[in-house]
Amino acid sequence: MRKFIIAFLVLFLVSILINTTLAYGTNDRQNKKHLSTKIFRKSNVIESLKKLKLYLLGYNNISFELIHNTTSFDFLDAKSIFSNEIYKTKLLTTILQWLGTPYKMGGSTKKGIDCSNFVAQIFRQTFGINFPANAETQSRLFNPINELKELSFGDLIFFTGRNKKSMRIGHVGIYLGNGVFAHSSTGKGVIITHISEGYYSERFRFGGRLSSDILNIVLK
C-alpha cells in the first residue's frame, strides 16, 4: 500500500511538472507572437508616417488632437468639401489615429477593420454621418474620376480585388495626394501606401469625390 501511495505521488508530481512546462511553453510562444505582432504594426506605422512626410510635406507637423465643434456642414456650397481646412485636418488626424490597426474582414473597430469599414469609420468620425460600409456600394455613389492625376485630397480611390482583370470593385482607400492613399490592407492593416507599388497601380479603376450632393444623399 505504501509503495502504491509513493508511486501515485510521484506520478502526480510528474504530471504537475509536465503541465507547468507545457503551460510555460504556450505562454512563452504567445508572448513572442504578441511581441512580434506589436513590432510588425509599429514598423507599418513608421513606414506610413515616412511616406506622409515624403509626399505630403505640409502635414508632417500636424496635431494629433481632434478638432471639435465641427458638426455644422458649412462647406456645402464650396466646390470641394476639403477646401475647408478644418475638415481637411480632421480627416487626416482621424486617419493617423487608425494607423497600425490590424485587418479583419467585416471588422469595424480598432481591434480589426477591413477596407470599406475603415472608410466608413473615417467619414463617420470626421462628419458624423453613417457612410455605407461596402466598397461596391460606396463606388456607386460617385461619378468616376478615371485619371489618377485628377484626384485630390479626400477622394475615394477604388481598386479591383485579387483579379486585376476584373471590373468588380474589391478594395477602397482614401486618397491623400501625390500618389499616396490610406487604406486597410489584408497584409498590413491600416497603412499609407503609394500608388506606384505595382499591386495597386495595376488594379486602380477610378476615384470618387465626396461632394455636397453625396453627403446630402447619405444624410437623408
Question: Which active-site residues does the annotation give?
Answer: 115, 171, 183
- Residue 148 corresponds to which cell in the numbers above? 489618377
Q: Which residues contact 196 (CB under 8 A, 6 or more apart)?
A: 179
**Closest listed residue to residue 119, CA positions, set 102, 128, 132, 107:** 132
Closest Cα to residue 98, out of 125, 71, 69, 133?
125
Rounded distance between C-alpha atoms, residue 167 and residue 190, angstroms: 24
Give the helix ranges, DSSP H, for 56-186: 85-98, 115-127, 135-139
3-class secondary structure, 32: helix
What burial class does residue 91 get, using C-beta atoms within 10 Å of its C-beta: 0-12 exposed, 13-18 middle, 19+ buried? Answer: buried
Q: How far is CA 35 from the centre of its chain?
A: 21
| Exposure of 126 in the CB half-sphere (CA atoms within 13 A) | 28
- CA 202, distance to chain mean position in Å, is 21
For residue 84, how far is the Cα from the chain centroid? 24
